[in-house]
Structure 1
Amino acid sequence: MANQWFETVAEAQRRAKRRLPKSVYGALIAGSERGWTVEDNTRAYAELGFAPHVAGLQGERDLSTTVMGQPLSMPVMISPTGVQAVHPDGEVAVARAAAARGITMGLSSFASKSVEEVAAASPQTFFQMYWVGSREVLVQRMERARAAGAVGLIMTLDWSFSNGRDWGSPAIPEKVNLKAALQFGPEVALRPQWLYTWLKTGAIPDLTTPNLAPAGGGPAPTFFGAYGEWMGTPLPTWEDVAWLREQWGGPFMLKGVMRVDDAHRAVDAGVTAISVSNHGGNNLDGTPAPIRALPAIAKAVGHEVEVVTDGGIRRGSDVVKALALGAKAAMIGRAYLWGLAANGQAGVENVLDILRSGIDSAVLGLGHRDVKDLRPEDVVVPANWPRVLGTPDQEHVV
């Protein structure tokens, strides 16, 4: 197993690229339209620096924190991502890795594994929902997650505009059938290790979404079928957000907030936490990196709700930069998917260990004993680097 270990998230990405069929890898790295946003997600972190100390450093450091009532061994959370067919174990492997490393698991409603399977693998599962279907259907889906043991709800409302990429959207079949086998056979044949991983389980990649199956029975929709229903559902209002939060009645995160005025409205709706996020670069292209918008949002509402962020996290030092600028934790997406593709559950654990080591090193260099002591003065922020989107709205009461 030693030869499967990797030392950086970048190496996990390289191995994922070598292992996965071209279309599958393309789906992992893609962003909407030109890709300005997905590029800025990583570039924004690279533009930030640190102000380290050289003496009086702390020999022991506490990396733990708490988000939405759940203790975290480090300020990292698994962000929900759709159908994880990069590995046969998919979201269950990710959940087991999260549990092994003491962090929360975010499960997408578009996942390839059921909430029952995932919650059984991780007692700290947050179930993520989109505004898909009627209110009755939404409540049924939410209650199913509660019954399965989900301890929190994540509502993702930033729209995905990923269907118009300048470099072409990756070809992904509606179903894995004979037609798909003939179409994708040549590129799969070039990745025999990936194919063997699936064949030895007796399964083939499943593109259905079991968490969106009808409550009364019947087949679960395919990913694209669910996506079509999402696009066809009337768009939610702030009143809808408050209603769903009330129906859940427990820890509730609103994901996709990028504007200060939206952050205030989220507070009015009664959310527990907000995630400053641009859907990993898959929403409206030209949206700045979340880390650029984080300081203004954290300053505006961080004393009222918990603020986390995601997008562009590739190393532990990125997490530390986010915490210094106001986040309680950072959510990761592509990073753990590359680990999953490279080496299953062990690959995800590998990624989490890399992030933990990087967080610890940065906290050490900055002279802190506790991640909760990180402050803006620990980070070197260039002029004109932050972005303030939206302005406080005094009439934002729901």
Structure 2
Amino acid sequence: MSTITPHKLGLHKILKHIPLNAIFDAPAKARLAKAVNIADLRLCAKARAHKMVFDYLDAGADDEISLRRGKDAYSQLEMHYHVLSGLKPPIDMRTKVFGCDVDIPFFGCPTAGNRMFHWEGETAAAKAAEHHGSLYGLSSLATTGIAEIGEIHKGPKVFQLYVWKDRELVKEVLAKAKEGGFNALALTVDFTWYGNRERDIRNDFSIPPKYSVAQVIEAIRKPAWTYDFLSHDPYTYACINTDVPADSLAAFVNSQIAPEFDWQDAEWLLGEWNGPAAVKGVVRPDDAVKAVETGFSTMWVSNHGARQLETSPATIDVLPSIREAVGPDVEIIMDGGVQRGTDIAKALALGADSVGVGKPYLYGLAAGGTEGVIKALDILKVELDRAMGLLGVGSVDDLKKRGPGLIKRRPASVRDYPDRYAYERGYGGGVI
């Protein structure tokens, strides 16, 4: 027998006419205004979002070793800056992604189910990308439709696809992406099994909640998130099938993922898409070379946010070897562990053409919707501008050209592992 829920009773149809959101969100807006870095935004998100939702966003696989290492790896890279470079502001952050012009060399990665973090969901991220002139990435497990995103974001867009079993479903989704003005495709290849996220298991994670005593108590503690949830329509997989409720994430993914998907299948997919395409999830040089030979135009160095295979390598550590393997002319995107503008600068210097960020903008989304995502990207942009100026490089092209001489790994004899991102300390935050 199906569970009776507030949405099935139609409560959202009543509450949407009672504008109490501003009252419940006042403390969250005050916290957001004080945030000065991504660590602060993380604390803002933790304070506003339901615990199981925040932990879903914040977590990694198993013991979260890769999650910590992915962030700490940047602290082992020193920036050996030039002085008296004669730079004249402003710094030129313009570059190209998938052959399209963008104003900043980083963007929000495609991530699933954004409406679980804030009712604005993917539309908030699309508005922020439009505001900053950046690439926008939409997940095939998004809770906002392709057409709606196309109306909001007129710039370059990449559509992310998993290795689905149903080829007719794949064809249908690709056709929708093309019609919606998406310029490029990203095939995620590191998600052929569902990762073990133990925080989700402990929290009995589900969207919408299962209305257990623990979940109801947590909902009472987070009134802004709860009122958003109760006063808006339930989520669906808007890019695939609006009849599939978003509370069946694991079941839906497990029913559709095709672990047997191989390089020949990838070649078929490229033929169906017939446009710029990235293989997302590469951490090995030999796989990168194979991807180029198969026909992918872009290598996307990623370990799925350290949410899949535990003790997978930090992406910033493998980036230089992949650049060396594919040569200077193949486009490389890198994501993973980025929390600062200096992290973005290091990735660009070591071989990335652009950098994807996931958790930073989702913290902003969970903290305050569109305003929060815009602030997250603002923070990273200001930090990147400062880093480039202090390094002595006036443009992204200059940073990539001179990069290898600017970034050096600390000698093993003097390395430390400060765990500067320890969760309970807020890894650099604490003022919110």
Cα distance change on mapping 1:169 and 1:2 into 2, 3 Å:
closer
Amino acid at match of 1:75: P
1:147 to 160, 174, 179: 179
Distance 2:37 2:197 in 1: 31
* 8 Å contact from structure 1 (residues 209, 226) kept in 2: no
Is 1:90–2:121 an aligned residue pair? Answer: yes
Q: Which shifted more, 179-188 or 271-280?
A: 179-188
* Aligned position for 1:108: 139
Moved over 4 A (4+): 166-169, 218-221
1:372 to 394, 397, 419: 397
* 8 Å contact from structure 1 (residues 27, 170) kept in 2: no
* Aligned position for 1:228: 254
Is 1:18–2:32 an aligned residue pair? Answer: no
* Aligned position for 1:209: 237
Task: Write the deviation string for residues 268-318 of structure 1: whole angstroms up to 9, x where unpaired.
Answer: 111111111000001211111100000000111142420010011111110
Q: Which shifted more, 45-54 or 12-21?
A: 45-54
Q: What displacement does 1:167 show?
A: 8.9
Is 1:172–2:201 an aligned residue pair? Answer: no
* Aligned position for 2:70: 41
List runs of 5+ in structure 1 lacking aligned partners: 386-398
Q: What displacement does 1:224 show?
A: 2.5
Q: What displacement does 1:162 show?
A: 2.3
* 8 Å contact from structure 2 (residues 62, 197) kept in 1: yes
Is 1:64–2:97 an aligned residue pair? Answer: no
When the two chains are superposed, the root-mean-square deviation of aligned CA atoms in Å is 2.1
Cα distance change on mapping 1:95 and 1:11 into 2, 3 Å:
same
SS at match of 2:198: coil
Amino acid at match of 1:237: D
1:251 to 276, 287, 304: 276
Q: Percent identity?
A: 33
Distance 1:165 1:195 in 2: 23
Task: Write the deviation string for residues 76-99 of structure 1: whole angstroms up to 9, x where unpaired.
Answer: 021111111110010011001101
1:360 to 381, 385, 388: 385
* Aligned position for 1:280: 305
Task: Write the deviation string for residues 363-389 of structure 1: whole angstroms up to 9, x where unpaired.
Answer: 11111111111211111213579xxxx
* Aligned position for 1:132: 164
List runs of 5+ in structure 2 lacking aligned partners: 1-28, 416-432
Cα distance change on mapping 1:355 and 1:174 into 2, 3 Å:
closer
Distance 1:377 1:297 in 2: 18
Cα distance change on mapping 1:190 and 1:256 into 2, 3 Å:
same
* 8 Å contact from structure 1 (residues 271, 305) kept in 2: no
Is 1:53–2:82 an aligned residue pair? Answer: yes
Distance 1:234 1:364 in 2: 46
TM-score (norm 1): 0.89
* Aligned position for 2:24: none
Distance 1:54 1:109 in 2: 46
Distance 1:306 1:226 in 2: 32
Cα distance change on mapping 1:112 and 1:167 into 2, 3 Å:
closer
* 8 Å contact from structure 1 (residues 57, 364) kept in 2: no
Q: Which shifted more, 369-378 or 273-282?
A: 369-378
Amino acid at match of 1:224: A
Q: What displacement does 1:174 show?
A: 5.6
Q: What displacement does 1:133 show?
A: 2.3
* 8 Å contact from structure 2 (residues 349, 406) kept in 1: yes
* 8 Å contact from structure 1 (residues 154, 254) kept in 2: yes
SS at match of 2:63: coil
Cα distance change on mapping 1:382 and 1:230 into 2, 3 Å:
farther
* Aligned position for 1:396: none
Distance 1:86 1:164 in 2: 17
* Aligned position for 1:238: 263
Q: What displacement does 1:175 show?
A: 4.6
Amino acid at match of 1:94: A
Aligned length: 376
1:347 to 358, 372, 385: 372
Task: Write the deviation string for residues 131-167 of structure 1: whole angstroms up to 9, x where unpaired.
Answer: 1122222111111111122111111010254225389
SS at match of 2:239: helix
2:355 to 308, 326, 330: 330
Q: Which shifted more, 116-125 or 179-188?
A: 179-188
* Aligned position for 2:15: none
Distance 1:299 1:359 in 2: 25
Distance 1:219 1:32 in 2: 26
Amino acid at match of 1:32: A
Distance 2:133 2:194 in 1: 33
Cα distance change on mapping 1:234 and 1:276 into 2, 3 Å:
closer
* Aligned position for 1:119: 150
Cα distance change on mapping 1:366 and 1:234 into 2, 3 Å:
closer
